[in-house]
Structure 1
Amino acid sequence: MINTILNFTNKNDILDKCIYASIKNAVMSGAYPSLSEEIAWDGNNYLFQNMEGIRGVIAFSNDIFVCGVRNEKKYEEGRENIFFKLLNSASEKVLKLAEEELLPYFLVESENENIPALSMIFWGENDMILSCVNESEVMERSEFSLLPYVYNFNDLEKYWIDCYEPNKEQLVLVNQIFQKRLVCNKFRLSNNQKEKLINWFGDNVEYCEERFNEIGIGIPDL
């Protein structure tokens, strides 16, 4: 049975929230290098994890997306099992995206072979978000790690402020970069923005640079 879930959001909103989270992470990686690996991009795939056994990927395509999460406490193993229990009745293009861009991130070793292992999947298509599990299960199986990507933007901003505790200047910088990234896929920070990062973080600005590069944002002459 397919459930319609998260009917208050859509693919573009989720993508924007992933970009916002990435920019916040990129800036604040200078202050907290150990957190820099919690969020990353691999092409069009957004990767997130925490230190408590949650790993997630949101794979974006032109008109669809697929999100998968593995909770180390409980998950389904094997391609056929996952397709039957977590992707049943999904369209061919959703299955193709899941096969090519989602499952490879979730391999575990079982009986001397690598097989995918996932706790839940949902996908967006035709302005709907669908899943073989209901909305409350999606949140519970992911231990609510998806909340930052479905919050409204005011709550989203508060969430990341609580996580990273940026000062007012850092928050202003994040929002400036985010607004520009919404209209320009590739650009470089200004010299003034670069100097702010260096003043705040010194040599740790290299962690910022690495994360910014993943989303098409350069830092001049580092």
Structure 2
Amino acid sequence: MKKLNWQREHLWGGCILASMAHAIMVAHYPELSNEHSWDDINYNVQDSSGARGTITFNPNYVVGAFRNEFSEREYIDALDYFNGAPKEVNQLAVNETLQYLLDEIDGDTVPVITTAFWEGDVGTYSNDSFEDFIENGGFLIESQTKDIETAINEWKEYYDMSDSQINLLYSIFERKISNPSGEIILMDSEIKMIQSDDEEGLNESRISFAELGIKWEM
């Protein structure tokens, strides 16, 4: 096993930040609506080019699994990527994480992944080296694992975000981090900071914000 230098709180924050940038900018690019989403404790990410992954944030463990369609790895049982992990990690992977990575192999629907990691009391681990982890799907969360300022700059460049959109991102991110379970409502003035009048895009934006527990002022 290889230890990854990640901490749960930072990774969660990075995934929240990525999802918020997405929620703002999907109003302009509704065709990217599939790239970031949340389903309760599960963060789903994909690049629309053959790579996808899910990270499950359980109160006791974090489990992440990824599939890169262009990986040269042959199919193996998904749980083989969790060799050495606590049994609770395996159970969480089966019940949550891997349910988002199902595919058909020889007529059977099974989870298909090409790399994975897990985090518990003693740190974050993968059975891959960091380089192999990144190559086989982990590249999907490179920005999510960086410091917040660097990540914001990367999302700004990726989406070509305006100063107004970045200011909105800072504001809602700080509110969410300071009170993760608290209610957040975007006022009309904040919705205008999204700077979009595209009906389809704004609907996707509202959906993405709702997945983060952020409502729009009616």
Q: Which TM class, normalised by the smaller chain length? A: over 0.9
> Secondary structure of the residue that 2:112 maps to in structure 1?
strand
The two structures, once aligned, show a CA RMSD in angstroms of 1.6
Match of 2:193 among 192, 196, 199: 196
Query: Within the alignment, does 1:82 sit opposite 2:78 as a pair?
Result: yes
Between 1:136-145 and 1:151-160, the stretch displaced more is 136-145
| AA at the equivalent of 1:96 | Q
1:127 CA displacement? 4.9
CA contact (8 A) 1:45 1:60 kept: yes
Deviations for 1:3-51, whole angstroms, at most 9, x for unmatched residues? Answer: 112x2x3111000011111111101111111112100011110000012
* Matching residue of 1:140: 135
Cα drift, residue 210 of structure 1: 0.6
- Aligned pair partner of 1:24 in 17, 21, 26: 21
Alignment match, 1:152:
147
Q: Which residue of 2 aligns with 1:101?
A: 96
What residue identity is the alignment partner of 2:185? R
Q: Please report how far the alpha carbon of residue 117 of structure 1 lies from its aligned counterpart in structure 2 after TM superposition.
A: 0.8
TM-score by length of 2: 0.92
Query: 1:125-144 CA distances to partner (integer Å, 9 max, x unpaired)?
Result: 11511011111111111262
Q: For residues 194 and 73 of structure 1, what CA distance do their matches in structure 2 show?
A: 38
Q: Which amino acid aligns with 1:82?
A: A
| Alignment-derived partner of residue 117 in structure 1 | 112
User: 2-side partners of 1:76 and 1:52: how far apart?
Assistant: 19
Q: Which has the higher helix share?
A: 1
Aligned positions, number: 214
**Structure 1 position 146, deviation (Å):** 2.1
Identity of aligned residues (%): 25
Residue 214 of structure 1 pairs with residue 196 of structure 2: no
What TM-score do you get using the length of structure 1 for normalisation?
0.90
Which residue, out of 159, 169, 187, partners 1:174? 169
5+ residue gaps, structure 2, are: none
Cα separation, 2, equivalents of 1:206 and 1:82: 35
Q: Deviations over 1:63-121 (max 9, x none)?
A: 2101111011235535xx3223x111110111111111111111111222111110000
Q: SS where residue 37 of structure 1 aligns?
A: coil
**Alpha-carbon distance between aligned partners in 2 of 1:137 and 1:176, rounded to the nearest angstrom:** 36
AA in 2 matched with 1:55: R
